[in-house]
Structures are given as structure tokens and as C-alpha cells.
Amino acid sequence: MKSILFSLVTLFAGSAMAAAYGDSGCGLGAMVMGSEKGLKQVLASTTNGTSGSQTFGITTGTSNCTEGGIFKSAEQVPAYIELNKIALAKEAARGEGETLAGLSQLMGCETVVFGKTVKANYNTIFVESKMEATEIRNRIQSATHNVCGA
């Protein structure tokens, strides 16, 4: 049975946070899961989010980041970084982990090399906690471009 408060992909369009997301215009905002403190925020975002507006295909509950139920290809990596931010930073500092491996795969890199390189550059990639996903991606790209080929 689905939890009401904790379970929705709560990415909301039109908020200040969404605007901060960058120039892609995609409504992927900073995402906060759960907790009573987040209750109002989460509900607010769900009520103007998904319900009943879908006319075709399937939805992820994300606003205009997706098309027909999946992330637009340009949004795949930023969305992955945004939604996995906490686990990703942790695994980047450790140099190993499934989330890091998933990102490596999405960015077309070899897992072990990618993990080592991101770890070695941890403190130049994750410089502050209020970073946008695209910023993190850019920093990872510039740290790994020598080892990742593409």
C-alpha cells in the first residue's frame, strides 16, 4: 500500500527551486523526501503535480522533464544525479558503490576507472551542498574526460 506522503516523485514545476534548476526549463526541482516537516511541501507538489492531467502514455510524476513516462535523454543524467544526490556523494567519497556505477554507465564510462577518478577528485566536484545537478555533472565530466573516452 502506497505511502501518501513519502512516495511520490516530488518534483515540482513553477517553484523557485525549479527555476534554480537551470536553463533547461525542465521542472525538476530540488527534491525532498518525506518527514512530517516536509509534509506540506510534498503534498503541495503532488496536488499540482500528477493527478489526472495525463492524457497520453504514462507519467513519472515529473512535470516537463519527461516525455511519455521517461526522462528526456538530455535530462537523464541530471535527473539521476538530482534524485540520487545523497547516495552519490557518499559513494563518490568512498570510490565505490552501485549508484556511482549506475552514473558511470549512464555517462558511458568504465565503472572502476570512473569510481577511482571521481573519488580522487571528490573535493573538487562536491564543493558545497547547494549544488545543482547540472553543475555536479559538469564537474564530473571535466574530472573524468581523460579516462572516459567520450
Partner 1 sequence: MIRSTGRGLWPLLLFLSFLILPLEGARASSLEQARGLVRSDKTSDGKAWLKLMHFRPTLFGAESDIDGEKFFLSPRGKTSPEAELQATLTAFFDPQAMASKEEDSALCRFPARQRFLRERFPQITWPGRECGLLQRYRQAVSGPSVSLVFSSFYLNNPSSAFGHTFLRVNKVPAQSDGRRYELLDYGFNYAADPDTDNAFVYGVKGLFGGFKGTFTSVPYYYKVREYNNHESRDLWQYELSLTPAQVSMLVDHLWELGSSYADYWYMTENCSFHILTALEAAAPDLEIVAKLKKFVLPADTVHAVVETPGLVKTVTYRPSLRTQLFARFDALSATEQNAVLKIVNDRDLAPLNEIAALERQSAVLDAAVDLIDYRFPYEIQLPEEKITQFKNRVLSRRGDNPTISTPLDIPLPVEEEPHRGHGSRRWGLGGRKVREGRESLLFSYRFALHDFYDPKPGFPDSAQITMFEGNFSWTEKIRRLELEQLTLFEVISRSPWRRLTPDYSWSMKVAGEREPWDEKPATTVMNLQLGGGWTLANASDSLSLFGGLKGGLKNDLQGRFDHFRVTAGPALGVRARISPRFVTGAEGWWRRERRREDKDFREISATVQWQFARDWGLRASAKDAFGAQSGELMLFGYY
Q: What are the residues binding partner 1 (CB under 8 A)?
A: 1-9, 31-35, 37-40, 43, 46-47, 50-52, 54-61, 67-71, 79-80, 83-84, 86-87, 89-90, 92-99, 101-102, 105-106, 108, 110-111, 115-116, 119-120, 122-123, 126, 128-130
For partner 1, the closer CB: 22 or 95: 95
In degrees, to the nearest 5, what angle opens at C-alpha 128 toward C-alphas 124 and 130?
135
- Name the minimum Å distance from CB 14 to partner 1: 18
- Name the minimum Å distance from CB 146 to partner 1: 18
Host H or E run for residue 117? helix 111-120
The cell numbers describing 60, all together, are: 513519472
- Name the minimum Å distance from CB 123 to partner 1: 5
Q: 145: alpha, beta or left, given left = phi > 0 and alpha = psi -120 to 50?
A: alpha
Pair 87, 35: CB distance under 8 Å: no
